[in-house]
């Protein structure tokens, strides 16, 4: 049995998709959802999906006690699915190559502090890029700079808007994120 924890800050479409993808897989269990934002729609989703929810404050998140709490869950993978806080060093050290993030652009472009969600798509459209895409990568101490596991791209149309690009990127995320997670979990057998 592989155990994963999913960290979220917002809407939670990736959380929903991952949970549905593994719903009938007895080998994979989402043991909890960790959320830092009391207004996140992800909270409703976690409740509806019947997954234990752990709300965190910034203080708690940085604490040794939180890292130990996560260690006690005996996790195979921590999945950042639209989670917007920087991961503290103590957690990264406790889970080497076991924390992954999805980023809605082709890193190393359009990454780093401030580049999240729609801000990324606005910048990509403003720069008239021919392509954008998604990057799934390991998490290290520096925002959006860990080893890349998977990327795939999509072309921008002439009249692309940040909203239309966001929809394209969400489709790529929905199609690919659970599959990449599954491959990583199976590699760890
Ligand atoms: C996703 O597009 C994800 O790539 C992005 O936030 C969105 C969350 O959507 N993550 C980042 O920008 C991280 N820097 P969701 O809450 O509906 O899954």
Structure tokens at 166: 């966001």
Q: Which of 6, 117, 133 to mutate to test the pocket of ligand 1 (most atoms within 8 A of CB)?
A: 117
Look at residue 118 and tell me whether its pLDDT is greater than 60.
yes
Nearest 5°: phi and psi at 98?
-125, 10
Domain 2-187 has CATH 3.40.50.170: yes
The answer, yes or no, to whether any atom of ligand 1 lies below 6 A from the CB of 102, is yes
Residue 3: CB atoms within 10 Å: 15
Q: Provide the pLDDT for residue 188.
A: 57
Residue 74 CA to ligand 1 centre (angstroms): 25
C-alpha to C-alpha distance for 125 and 157, rounded to whole angstroms: 10
Given this model, what pLDDT does residue 136 score?
98
133 lines ligand 1 (CB under 6 A): no
Q: What is the pLDDT of residue 2?
A: 97
Is residue 45 in contact with ligand 1, taking CB distance under 6 Å?
Answer: no
Is the pLDDT at 127 greater than 70, yes or no?
yes
Q: Which atom of ligand 1 is nearest to the CA of 42?
A: 16
Give me the chain's average pLDDT, please.
Answer: 96
Per-residue pLDDT tens over the stretch 9-56:
999 999 999 999 999 999 999 999 999 999 999 999 999 999 999 999
Question: pLDDT, tens digit, for every residue of 73-88?
Answer: 999 999 999 999 999 9
Check if 103 is active-site: yes
Domain boundaries, the chain: 2-187
Q: How far apart are the first and last CA of the chain?
A: 10
pLDDT, position 162: 97
The answer to whether the CB of 14 is under 6 A from ligand 1 is yes
What are the tens digits of pLDDT across the range 146-170? 999 999 999 999 999 999 999 999 9
Residue 83 CA, ligand 1 centroid: distance in Å? 7
Report the DSSP pairing between strands 99-103 and 77-80.
parallel
Alpha-carbon Rg for the chain in angstroms: 16
pLDDT at 144 over 90: no
As given in the structure block, the two tokens for residue 51 are: 């997954």
Ordered DSSP codes for 97-114: T-EEEEESS-TTTT-STT
- Which pLDDT does position 141 carry in this prediction? 84
Q: Compute the average pLDDT of residues 57-68.
A: 97
The C-alpha atoms of residue 145 and residue 8 are separated, in whole angstroms, by 19
Q: What percent of the chain has pLDDT over 70?
A: 99
Residue 142: predicted pLDDT: 83
């Amino acid at each position: 049995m592989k155990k994963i924890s999913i960290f979220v800050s917002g809407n939670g479409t990736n959380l929903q998709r991952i949970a549905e993808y593994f719903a009938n897989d007895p080998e994979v269990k989402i043991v909890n959802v960790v959320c830092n934002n009391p207004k996140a729609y992800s909270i409703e989703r976690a409740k509806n999906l019947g997954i234990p929810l752990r709300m965190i404050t910034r203080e708690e998140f940085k604490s040794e006690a939180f890292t130990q709490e996560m260690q006690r869950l005996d996790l195979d993978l921590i999945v950042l699915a639209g989670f917007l806080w920087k991961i503290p060093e103590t957690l990264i050290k406790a889970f080497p190559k076991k924390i992954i993030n999805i980023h809605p652009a082709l890193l190393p472009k359009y990454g780093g502090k401030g580049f999240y969600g729609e801000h990324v798509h606005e910048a990509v459209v403003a720069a008239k890029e021919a392509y954008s895409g998604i990057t799934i990568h390991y998490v290290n101490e520096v925002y959006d700079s860990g080893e890349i596991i998977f990327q795939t791209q999509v072309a921008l149309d002439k009249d692309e808007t940040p909203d239309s690009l966001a929809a394209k990127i969400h489709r790529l995320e929905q199609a690919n994120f659970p599959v990449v997670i599954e491959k990583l979990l199976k590699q760890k057998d």
